[in-house]
Every structure is written in C-alpha cells, then in structure tokens.
Structure 1
Amino acid sequence: MPRGLSPRGQTVVLLTCCLSVFVAGLDATIVNVALPSIQRALHTPVSGLQWAIDAYTLVIACLLMLSGSLADRFGRRRVFLTGLAIFSLGSLLCSIAPSLGALVAFRALQAVGGSMLNPVAMSIIATTFTEPAARARAVGAWGSVAGLSLASGPVLGGLLVSALGWRSIFWINVPVGALAMYLTKKYVPESKATRGKRFDPLGQALVVTFLGPVTAAVIEGPRHGWGSPLIVVMFVVAGASVAGLVLLEPRRSEPLVDLRFFRSPAFSGATLIALVALMTLGGFLFLNTLYLQDVRGFSPLHAGVLTIPMAAALAVCSTVSGRVVAARGPRPALVLAGLLLAAGTGLLTGAGRGTSAGYLVLAYVLFGAGCGLVGTPVTNTALSGLPRDQAGVAGAIASTCRQTGAAIGVAVCGSIVAGGSAGFVASSRAAWALLAGCGGATVLFGLISTGRWATAHAERTRAQLSAKALEMTR
C-alpha cells in the first residue's frame, strides 16, 4: 500500500472512489426520467432531448483515454480532484440552465469532469490496494456501486423530479462532489506512472471528429433530411476520421488507440459487445421514459417506481455475473445476457396505451437482468487476449465503446421516433425491434469471441504484443 496509508485510510480511499463512480454513473441515467419535464420547460423537440443525453455520454467517450493518460503523467490525485471540481461545477450550472443550448453545453462540461473520474478512480484503487485479494474485493465493491448507480438513476430521478422539479436532479451532485473532494485532499495519496504515455493529439482529434459528427448526423438526420449537405458532410468527416485512425495511428510510437489490440478476436468481440449491449441500455432508457410519461401519462415518480424491478434485477445480476464468469468463464454469461436483452426489448415492441403493469414489469426484469450480466464478461473477454501491462489501456477502450454505444442508442432510437409520422407507439416499435436485434448480436459476438478459434488467436496476439513490448524496453 502507499507509504503511511493505514487500513482505515484505504477504506476511505475506496469510499471516495465509489462516491465518484456513483455520481458519474447516476448522471448517465438520472436525466432520462426528467426528459418530459425538460421538454415542457425548455420547449425542445425530440432532437433536443437526445442532445441533453448524448452531450454527456459522447464527451466522456471522446475523453476517457486522454484523461487516463493525463492522470498517469501529471498525477492521479491531481487529475481526480480536477475532475470532481469540473463535474460539480457543471452540475451546478445545469441546474440553472436557462435554455436548451445552455443545458447541452453544461452537460458537456459535466462530462469533461466525468471523464476524469472512473478511469482515474480505478487507477487509484489499483495503486492503493496492492495485495491481489484486497484489490479484487475493492474492485468488486467499486463495480457493484457502478452498477447500482446506473440502476438507481431512474428511481431517484423520479423522486426528485416529482418533489422538486427537473433541476433538482443536478443538485445532488454538488454536495456529493464536495464531500469527495474533501476526502480526496485528506486521504488519497498522489501517484503517477513511472513513465507517462506521450500525448497523441492527432489520435485524440481523429476520435473526436469520428464520434462527434456521426452522432450529430444520426440525431439531426430526421430534421434536416438524410440527403442534406450538412448531414452528408458530417458522415464524410466521420468516415475520413476512421480512415485516418487506420492509416496514421499505427505509424505513431505511442498511439492513443493501439490498433494491434484488435488483432485479438476476443478483444474485438468484447468491444463490439460493449457497443451493442450499451446501445440497448441507452435506447431503452430514452424510449421507456417517453413511453411511460408521454404515452401512458404517468408522473415521473410513478415512472421511476415502475422501473424499480429493472434496477433490482440489474443490481442482483451484476453481482451474480462475477461468480458465473469465475466458475464457468465469460461465454454462458454473455449468451444469457444477450438472450435476456433481446427478450426484454422484444416484449416492449408490443407495448401500447393499455399494456398491463405486469407485462411491463416482466419486460423490465428480463432487460435489467441482461444488463447486469453483461458487464463483467465483457471486461474479462477484453483483457483475455492482451498482456497484463496493457489492462488499463484495454479497459479504457472498452469503456469508450460502452459510452459510444449508449450515445448511439439514444441517437438512433430518437431518430426513428422523430422521423415517424404514425405516433410514438407505432414509431417506437421499429426502435424496440432494433434494440432486440442488438441483444441478438450480443449473443452472436459472445459465441464468436469466446470460442476455441478466438481463444487461440487471442493467445498468439498476447504473445506477440508481449514480445514487442519487451523488445522496446531493451
């Protein structure tokens, strides 16, 4: 453990890291239940609601890897404190946003701080808990809080919106952020990598100019027209950025995105699973909120209470997933997760104005169980084909894919609903069917990435990367 840090100090460090992951994860889901209230208060179209969600998830996706490298170079405690301060300030500004444009801008500011929390918190835990058993318990506790934060967002959001209005969902972050800053200053020791990774401004720019334009094009396509010059240009820019990543990044000595990782079928499969599985979560939260409040006329509190079974199933299965992976490997958990995601969203294709609460609860439980099961095996599969010293970078890429998937899920489902002319219920059926297809894709990618062929190739990739790293250190 870091010099001078007592067991009590370690516990406080873990608590601090858990506080940060709780507020960061909470903000990824709590806003959804407030969308109808925000729409009425700020007079925004569906595309505006999409931006209120995706401004957060998209910016985090773009900056996760950069924030991790900043922490390694300049100090994890320093970057973590900076992230908490920016996140808290962004939350306060969101609570007083006078317009949609201001809310979107402040959500992006929140995300800049949020990108410095989760990856840096994991690094702090890894350097604080040096014994393998203690580290495993700490990471398990941290992961459980992460799952709980995602699950509790809609419920807590419903309570706050019903009692105090939509602006109150951002107030909760300020005192929690202040407490985390105090504990960080008092208990968290400074640490940094022995050799910090060089900055890759080109790679960072290419990631931003890929994720930003493609998400913006999907959101704005129904409003401007898919063939409009603006939308076409955004897709062209995104395509050119992908080409730039493929052609230019391998030539850099320390690229932001090391494309050699994708030679491992296990790693490639895990990133695809993270993408499609989180598409289902982002799309589900967006569609379900509008369905419950705008179509069924439920209050935010009633809508939040209805999703408690989903939250409970997610929290329980997040814990069960680790045990399943430890006992049977990632394949059973991935396959079951995909089947449950497909079943839950598939049931919601039949949801209408008179659908019973029991039918909805069944769909929510199935969906929540699938979401809870998928996280641990994705991480396990991503790391299985890479050297241990590359675990941090691989984890950052997998986290980026999760955030990107959530952003795309909101963008695509919102575009389907906004572009439909037959009303929300009829238009949303295509969106729910798409999400069910993502669940099916989770099963397919899970089978491929954990099969014998993928495992053999992953081992070869691991050996090649390890040999290359050893050669560079000589």
Structure 2
Amino acid sequence: MTASRKTVGTIAVYLGTCMATIAISIVTVALPAIQKDFDADITALQWIVGSYALCLSAFMLSAGPLGDRYGRRRVWLSGVAIFALGSALAAGAVTLPMLIAGCAVQGIAGALVIPGALSILTQTYRDAAQRSRVIGGWASVSAISLILGPFVGGILVDLFGWFSVFLINLPLGLVTLILGRIGIEESADPDHAAFDPAGQLLSVIALGALTLALTEAGRSGWDTMLALSAFVVAGLSFLAFLAVETRVARPVLPVDLFRDRRFAAVNIASFVLGFMGYSSLFFFSLFLQDAQQLSATQAGLRMAPVFLSMAVLASRFGRLSHRFGQFGPMVAGYALMGVAMLGMTGFAPDTSYALLFALFLLLGVGMGLSVPATSAAVMTMTPRTRTGAASATLNTMRQSGMAIGIALLGSLMAGASARALTLGQSAAEATAEGFGVAVFWGGISAVAVSLFLIAAMRPSARAQREQA
C-alpha cells in the first residue's frame, strides 16, 4: 500500500472515530432541552445516553470477529453507513421511545466502527513506532471529538434545537464513506475469527438486564420487583455466558487471551475508564446546566478544558511511550483522574469556575495518558491475527463501563438529589449534592484501579519499556 493511500485511509478512520465519539459528548449538552421537550425525568435521560452506550458495548464483542471473518474494511464501512441512518432517525424523533431507538441504532453501528478503527490501524502499520504514533493520533481525534461535542452541540442546541446534534453526523458520515472506500485496504483472518451466537445473545441479555436493574433501582428503589428480577436475570445470564465461552470452539470473548495477567488487568482498567471517565460527561452537563444554571453553549465551553488537555497529552503519547513505556503513563493517568474527581465532590451551585477549570484540566491530563496507553498496551500484547477480537474486547469493556457507570452512578446521583430535596434544599443544591456522590465513587474507582495496575503489572514493566 502506498504512503498516500495509507494517509487517506488513516484520515477516514480518524473521521469515523470522530463521528462515533462525538455522539458520546454532543448529546450531553442537549439533555436539558430534551428533558424539557419530552417532559422527561432523569431516568429517561439515563436511557437516552445509556441506550447508545449499552448497544455499543453489547454488540462490540461480535464486531471485532465480524471484521476478522468477513473483512475489516467491509464491516467498518457498513458501520459508518448505519450510524448515519441512526442519526437521521434520532434527529427526526417525535417521541421519546423513537429518540432512544435512534440512539440505540447509533450504538449498534458504533460497535462496528470503534473497535474496527484500532484493528485497521494495526493491520495498516506494521512498524511498532509508527503504530504507536497513529494510535496516539487516534486517541487525539477522540479527545478533539469530545471537545467539539459539547462546544458545537451547545451552539446547535441554542440556535436550532436538540435535534441538530444528531444531524451533524450525516455530512461527516458521507465524507468518511468516500475516503474509506479509497484509502482502506481490505484484510481478514477468517481462520481466527470467532463465531459464537449463543455467547453474543447471552452477553446482550446480561448487560441489558444489569443496566435495567441499576436504572430502575435509582428510580424506584433497590428492593422493587423489577430491579430484583433484572439483577437475577443479569446474574444468571452472565454465568451462562461464562459457561458457553469456556466450551465453545471460537468464543466471542477471547478467554485464552485473559490467561495473560497483563491483558486481563488492562481490560479491567478499560472498564473503569468507561465507568468513571466517559460516564462523567453525563454528570458534568447536568451539574453545569441544572445546578449552575448555565446555557448549553456555556456548559460546553466550560467542559472544554477536559478535552483540550486530553488532546494535548494524547498527541504526545508516542514520545511519552518511547521514553517511559506504556505502564507508567497508564498508572499515572488513572491516578490523576481519581484525584481530579475526588476534588469535585464539594462542588456547589456557586463554585467558582477557577476551581472547575483546574480540576477539569487535571482530569483531561489523566484521560490523555490513560486512553492511548490502555489501547496501545492491549495491541502490544495481542497477536496480529487476533487484533479484531482484542480491540473489540477492550472497547467492550470501556463502553460497558460507561453504560454501567451512567446507570449506577446516575442512580446514586438521583437518590442523593431526591434526599436533598426532601430535606428542603433547592433544586440546584440537590443536583450538586447528587453530583458530589457520583463523582466521589467515580474517583474512588480510578484510584483503586491505579493501585491494581501496579500490583498486576509491575513485574512486566521493564519488559514493556524494552519493547517500547
């Protein structure tokens, strides 16, 4: 493949990543407007964001093997096209279920696009140094997309309405399809691809039931019949899923890769990254707009330091990994995210933006280190013929974490806010109270995983530095 064609293909992959990633952040600033139009409660807002994250994570395990089996280019381009269709459905929604359905279609398509990006880049760039650079660029694009999401989304919502945050994906998807057809070379490894419909079905049921249980627990209580039943279904489905995966010839979850302690540890870290990092966008938007009474545009601008610092650090990841390896930046990233979120627990409606800015900046630095380091570490540990499955697993863990984070932390936020209201606090104070509870547990999980990574991976740190 010529260098110019590689460049075109890389741009296409970056644009596809931008389209799928911007959907995570752009809708967050539209939530108050959606809430007003549809007279929705916080549970409905959880499902709008959560349906995307849920479908994204639930179908990712199959997406990687589909690319390995039927062609990474073909499956990835199909995902881009379906994503544009889901965006059109959400933009034209006249009911809340229709909007949630559109976001769910986006999530299914994103499951084809996001893991496929890492797999395509790994297949295209054989040199380890080049691969680290383009993966760092991929992480930078993700960060920039997260920046553009709240900023552009806030402007669109204030000028045109919430539906416009979905329409932006249509021209972006068209350009991505054109460049992808020109610049991406087809590759496949059907002999190593998984085919496991039972495992796929059970994973969808388990994750969907758990999300329902956590969301319902926040709305109606942890001891309601629906919540308890959903927890039981989730537990039984997960046990059945593990049983199937250990027996099927080609499992959708690469169980054999998890025998590597480092691979397992990094995937657990990826789950926590989604649980506390990606889900935090949901809480930031509600805090800024509902507690501090800012407009969508103002909220988007104030969230920008998170993503700007993330983009700067991610763009320098190639150099950082060459000097320090992947282990050090990864542990530092999770620790910084934890410190930043724990520092947000005392946020109030009148908290100055100077403090918000400092902690948002620190959080972005942590994400800028952890996102590319986590992705590159998994790709380094994985045989080239298994990159699709490994990338899908990594991203499944991250997006599953996001779905569960929105459900669990959202439920904790809703419960704390409701209690604050019963004690006579204002709506803004109650929102801030709930926000503090959510970011506290998010921060604790990040600090815990940084310590876990040290314990699980320290013996291999020297080897990783030598490979970098």
Question: 1:424 corresponds to which residue?
Answer: 431
Seen in structure 2, the aligned counterparts of structure 1 residues 120 and 342 have a Cα distance that, compared at 3 Å, is closer
Q: CA deviation at 1:388?
A: 4.8
Q: CA deviation at 1:118?
A: 2.1
Question: 2:18 corresponds to which residue?
Answer: 22
Equivalent position to 1:451, from 428, 452, 458: 458
Distance 2:365 2:59 in 1: 29
What amino acid does structure 2 have at the position aligned with 1:450?
M
Mean CA deviation greater in 99-108 or 331-340: 331-340
1:41 matched to 2:37? The reply is yes
Q: CA deviation at 1:40?
A: 0.6
Distance 1:219 1:407 in 2: 10
Distance 1:297 1:220 in 2: 27
Question: 1:266 corresponds to which residue?
Answer: 262
1:84 matched to 2:80? The reply is yes
Mapping for residues 142-161 of structure 1, pairs under 5 Å: 142-161=138-157
Question: 1:394 corresponds to which residue?
Answer: 390
What amino acid does structure 2 have at the position aligned with 1:431?
A
Give the conservation status (yes or no) of the 8 Å contact 1:337–1:369: yes
Number of aligned residues: 453
What amino acid does structure 2 have at the position aligned with 1:90?
G
Give the conservation status (yes or no) of the 8 Å contact 1:267–1:384: no
What amino acid does structure 1 have at the position aligned with 2:457?
T
Distance 1:332 1:198 in 2: 33
Equivalent position to 2:46, from 45, 50, 54: 50
Seen in structure 2, the aligned counterparts of structure 1 residues 381 and 72 have a Cα distance that, compared at 3 Å, is closer
Distance 2:390 2:175 in 1: 31
Give the conservation status (yes or no) of the 8 Å contact 1:344–1:366: yes
Question: 2:313 corresponds to which residue?
Answer: 317
What amino acid does structure 1 have at the position aligned with 2:334?
G
Q: CA deviation at 1:381?
A: 3.9
Give the conservation status (yes or no) of the 8 Å contact 2:209–2:234: yes
Give the conservation status (yes or no) of the 8 Å contact 1:267–1:383: no
Question: 2:177 corresponds to which residue?
Answer: 181
Distance 1:124 1:264 in 2: 24
* CA offset digits 1:16-62 (Å, max 9, x no partner): 11111111011111111111111111111101111111111111111
Distance 2:385 2:123 in 1: 14
Mapping for residues 282-293 of structure 1, pairs under 5 Å: 282-293=278-289
Distance 1:132 1:447 in 2: 24
Give the conservation status (yes or no) of the 8 Å contact 2:63–2:392: no
Distance 1:56 1:158 in 2: 20
* CA offset digits 1:97-140 (Å, max 9, x no partner): 11211111110111121111122233333444455555444433
Give the conservation status (yes or no) of the 8 Å contact 2:53–2:402: yes
Does the residue aligned with 1:199 lie in a helix, a strand or coil? coil
Distance 1:69 1:340 in 2: 34
Question: 1:171 corresponds to which residue?
Answer: 167
Give the conservation status (yes or no) of the 8 Å contact 1:266–1:454: no
Mean CA deviation greater in 37-46 or 129-138: 129-138
Question: 2:366 corresponds to which residue?
Answer: 370
1:110 matched to 2:103? The reply is no
Seen in structure 2, the aligned counterparts of structure 1 residues 191 and 273 have a Cα distance that, compared at 3 Å, is closer
Seen in structure 2, the aligned counterparts of structure 1 residues 202 and 192 have a Cα distance that, compared at 3 Å, is same
What amino acid does structure 1 have at the position aligned with 2:442?
L
1:348 matched to 2:344? The reply is yes
Seen in structure 2, the aligned counterparts of structure 1 residues 126 and 377 have a Cα distance that, compared at 3 Å, is closer
Q: CA deviation at 1:175?
A: 0.7
Question: 1:101 corresponds to which residue?
Answer: 97
Give the conservation status (yes or no) of the 8 Å contact 2:5–2:182: no
% identical aligned pairs: 34
Distance 1:189 1:126 in 2: 12
- Of structures 1 and 2, the one scoring higher in RCO (CA 8 A, sep 6+) is 2
Q: CA deviation at 1:397?
A: 1.0
RMSD over aligned Cα atoms: 2.2
Distance 1:256 1:389 in 2: 15
Question: 1:192 corresponds to which residue?
Answer: 188
Mean CA deviation greater in 281-290 or 46-55: 281-290
Q: CA deviation at 1:455?
A: 8.6
What amino acid does structure 1 have at the position aligned with 2:174?
A
Does the residue aligned with 2:191 lie in a helix, a strand or coil? coil
Does the residue aligned with 1:116 lie in a helix, a strand or coil? helix
Question: 1:469 corresponds to which residue?
Answer: none
* Structure 1: runs of 5 or more not aligned: 459-474
What amino acid does structure 2 have at the position aligned with 1:52?
I
* Structure 2: runs of 5 or more not aligned: 421-429
Mean CA deviation greater in 369-378 or 288-297: 369-378
Question: 1:440 corresponds to which residue?
Answer: 447
Distance 1:373 1:59 in 2: 27
Distance 2:278 2:453 in 1: 20
Seen in structure 2, the aligned counterparts of structure 1 residues 383 and 342 have a Cα distance that, compared at 3 Å, is same
Question: 1:408 corresponds to which residue?
Answer: 404
Distance 1:194 1:247 in 2: 24
Distance 2:359 2:293 in 1: 19
Give the conservation status (yes or no) of the 8 Å contact 1:266–1:455: no
Distance 1:373 1:140 in 2: 10
Does the residue aligned with 2:246 lie in a helix, a strand or coil? helix
Give the conservation status (yes or no) of the 8 Å contact 2:64–2:391: no
Question: 1:162 corresponds to which residue?
Answer: 158
What amino acid does structure 2 have at the position aligned with 1:442?
V
